[in-house]
Structure 1
């Protein structure tokens, strides 16, 4: 291969499942003409937008999975060298593709009461197998960010929690589970995005901590993974002045951080992947097309994800980088492709999921993480009140009549002496109180003061702060997810089974 062809292997631009035929053809032309190394699949242009908070409800999303498989086959057929197919599926294909298995969020897995590492590895193995059967080689997950800032707008539910050692252990377990499935995985977002208050999709987060503080917290899970053989790390778009001589430069384009700290000081010898280069934290810094790509490459990134200027980027890197720099990155990518079986890519058939096995596994997990968050449940009293018709039920934010209401089979709360209040948190992201309107939140708080109440919280536990003083509830049960299997596990907890 010539220099330009080797450079092209560094690029993994965005491919959209729901798109126009014109755009599909444009992607095919890019594959043929630029000879790129890979593609990173997203649901649609709308859902990949930097200000994305909702799925693209206006789209016809039927057959998303079949479309994905069709596009993978189509694009692979157009490429001389088989493409490395990536997806950002932190909780499975379902993060990007409807009607595919969804697994619990990282924050949920961080709440597992027993054998957490074993279960996290198994979750990631299953997730990896779903992807492998679908023609995907690399999952841009898991997060190794320690979520120490409760106001964090972008990590939150994506982190295993705020305990540094637990995050390190579970992120490694997730990485190992995907590796066991024959899928590439990467720890992200180096040097650590957990203690930030800005969403890097929208602006540049700046982390003001000393190097010693960073080593004790943010950098720890990455060093832990490096010491145990992790081969891929994604660098985030956040500035850490203590590590860059006081400059507010995004880590993703900082040679001091990627080459100096990560590769030389921390001893990482694997592949470095950039976070999406369309994100506002970096996308607006260099108006000249291709300059951002060059800056990211010269900083030490080996794969450039979601570049909007592929042709110009290839040209600039080919002209400015040394032959050694390009050869080193190219060699790493070709070795990764060989290791993940990319070079033996065959036509993919649409796989059939074993939904029964998936549901059984979800039930096992739910029984492990569902827990009484605060207060105390007196199950005998609840049973007695239920038998007398004095235990009532209310639910909020559920889009339709929930499975939970049927499981409990309780009368409306109005006439009861004690009530169970179920809250189905609409969004796992913190915008607009996690999608909960203030009037309803006030109504729930007033209900809790009106009579003894038990709160059942289905969703991101970080949303609990919007439900007022939790001491107003006799007990608070955390379900973490709204899955049917979780509703069953909570019902068992309430009924003392």
Structure 2
């Protein structure tokens, strides 16, 4: 590092009030940015003593545009670019920057050609064995650290008890508060073991909502007692164990504050989180560009000042850092600024005191770990326990909803069971319809195009109706390599047999084939309650 971090005792004497407020800002930085934009960010850091940056893939894929209004350009050099940009931005900073990213399931959440690990919902299916979740936290933290990142804004501790949730879903460990709490703790401990910071999100709980806060403000109509009983349970437990940070989601909870969303609510941040729940660490906002809150403020910097007044310490994805700094200086007391500055600086001290990596990253480790998780998470939901054997020993149709990458699962079935593999899409439906007429039994590998529920997980209407008809008229064994919530749209029958594999990684496909061929038992348990399947 070009400039070492002052101790808090030195920093509080050295930095001016404006510099202290600058330390509370975390604007977005984009890996695939133009040189012109990079120079602007360097200038912003230099002239405003910005304290932190959060990396996103590109301006097109950033939170409020993720609905696909702009084309996301893929760049195979993203990882190298990220490392170079971190060095550049650190050079522009007078005081070392805290570098953050969302890497819930690894750097792959934001960066191509980097290791991807299973989603939280997959880890939620593992029974016991939280050492595997610890190992994931540790591996992700190691990848972050090697890139120059100090802070992984994870884990999601939302309890996903609403199947209609468009944005949390697969990012949560499940719908059971005890499971969510234990898995989150193991993940955090794994990160901590290599000195990477974490943040619990999205306080006070984004699980029970059907609105995406990137686009609108979700309303949660629950009493404080109900929230303490369920949504706030993991926060309270983990706060007692000592955590680095809590991220505030953009949520409207009338029972806690009838006037303000959580982002600008002192009742939620100061009264509930700080006073009632006794949290002393850093409170960070969710991205302040998200439409749930950003649309309400025409005056630049006012959202940041209002969030700060409510008790926020760190303004993440502030699009108006310069104006936000000015508004806070104009409206807040020096004492209040010092409180947040101290918390943020102490977090920096913690991040920068941990320098060495105990091991170099080994891609083989990621693959081995993914394979172990595949073996412990694969889940049977049998309508007919004998179905699998009966289907396998019969003449069956080997079908798949095509995968974006390789489908080794269906290929192996063709190779070893002699049943030709057919891909199901709008152009092959008629040909497959003819084959279906001659087959009573079908093995259907589903690779949903999208992990998110929007537009029926990316499956077109014709194909979806065809699958629903198959399920209704034939004996079908489904292997689902994706979000288990998809089962809710398939119109399953009580005797449909399903194996949830959760991920489409090669390692998960290998384990799925071993399960199909009788070499592996399913050890996982569905971490959510589905509307259509009562298991």
Whether the TM-score (by the shorter chain) exceeds 0.5 is yes
Q: Pairwise mapping of residues 197-276 of structure 1 onto structure 2 (< 5 A)? A: 197-244=210-257, 246-247=258-259, 249-276=260-287
Shift of 1:30: 0.8
Alignment-derived partner of residue 298 in structure 2:
287
Shift of 1:222: 0.7
The reply on whether 1:312 has 2:314 as its aligned counterpart is no
The reply on whether 1:18 has 2:4 as its aligned counterpart is no
Q: 1:448 to 1:461 in 2, by over 3 A?
A: same
| 1:391-410 Cα shifts (integer Å, max 9, x gaps) | 32000132365111222123
Once residues 400 and 380 of structure 2 are traced to their aligned partners in structure 1, the CA distance between those partners, rounded to angstroms, is: 18
Runs of at least 5 residues in structure 2 that lack an aligned partner in the other structure: 1-14, 423-434, 520-535
Shift of 1:472: 5.2
8 Å Cα contact 1:146/1:195 also seen in 2: yes
Q: 1:470 to 1:52 in 2, by over 3 A?
A: farther
| 1:205-225 Cα shifts (integer Å, max 9, x gaps) | 111111111111111111011
The reply on whether 1:336 has 2:347 as its aligned counterpart is yes
Alignment-derived partner of residue 496 in structure 1:
518
The reply on whether 1:467 has 2:490 as its aligned counterpart is yes
The Cα RMSD (Å) is 2.0
Once residues 412 and 394 of structure 1 are traced to their aligned partners in structure 2, the CA distance between those partners, rounded to angstroms, is: 6
Once residues 241 and 26 of structure 1 are traced to their aligned partners in structure 2, the CA distance between those partners, rounded to angstroms, is: 40
8 Å Cα contact 1:448/1:472 also seen in 2: no
8 Å Cα contact 1:391/1:411 also seen in 2: no
Runs of at least 5 residues in structure 1 that lack an aligned partner in the other structure: none
Which secondary structure state, in structure 1, belongs to the residue aligned with residue 66 of structure 2? coil
| 1:28-47 Cα shifts (integer Å, max 9, x gaps) | 11111111001000000010
Once residues 290 and 56 of structure 1 are traced to their aligned partners in structure 2, the CA distance between those partners, rounded to angstroms, is: 26
Which secondary structure state, in structure 2, belongs to the residue aligned with residue 339 of structure 1? helix
Shift of 1:359: 1.0
Q: Which of 382, 385, 388 is the matching residue for 1:374? A: 382
Once residues 165 and 223 of structure 2 are traced to their aligned partners in structure 1, the CA distance between those partners, rounded to angstroms, is: 20
Q: Pairwise mapping of residues 442-453 of structure 1 onto structure 2 (< 5 A)? A: 442-453=465-476
Q: Which of 29, 32, 36 is the matching residue for 2:50? A: 36
The reply on whether 1:406 has 2:406 as its aligned counterpart is no
Once residues 270 and 229 of structure 1 are traced to their aligned partners in structure 2, the CA distance between those partners, rounded to angstroms, is: 8
Shift of 1:448: 2.6
Once residues 396 and 372 of structure 1 are traced to their aligned partners in structure 2, the CA distance between those partners, rounded to angstroms, is: 20
The reply on whether 1:65 has 2:65 as its aligned counterpart is no
Which secondary structure state, in structure 2, belongs to the residue aligned with residue 319 of structure 1? helix
Residue-pair matches, total? 485
8 Å Cα contact 1:393/1:412 also seen in 2: yes
Which secondary structure state, in structure 2, belongs to the residue aligned with residue 333 of structure 1? helix
Task: Using structure 2 for the length normalisation, give the TM-score.
Answer: 0.87
8 Å Cα contact 2:471/2:491 also seen in 1: no
Once residues 429 and 85 of structure 1 are traced to their aligned partners in structure 2, the CA distance between those partners, rounded to angstroms, is: 28
Q: Pairwise mapping of residues 39-438 of structure 1 onto structure 2 (< 5 A)? A: 39-53=53-67, 58-115=72-129, 117-244=130-257, 246-247=258-259, 249-341=260-352, 353-375=361-383, 376-377=385-386, 380-385=389-394, 390-399=395-404, 402-409=407-414, 410-412=419-421, 414=435, 415-438=438-461
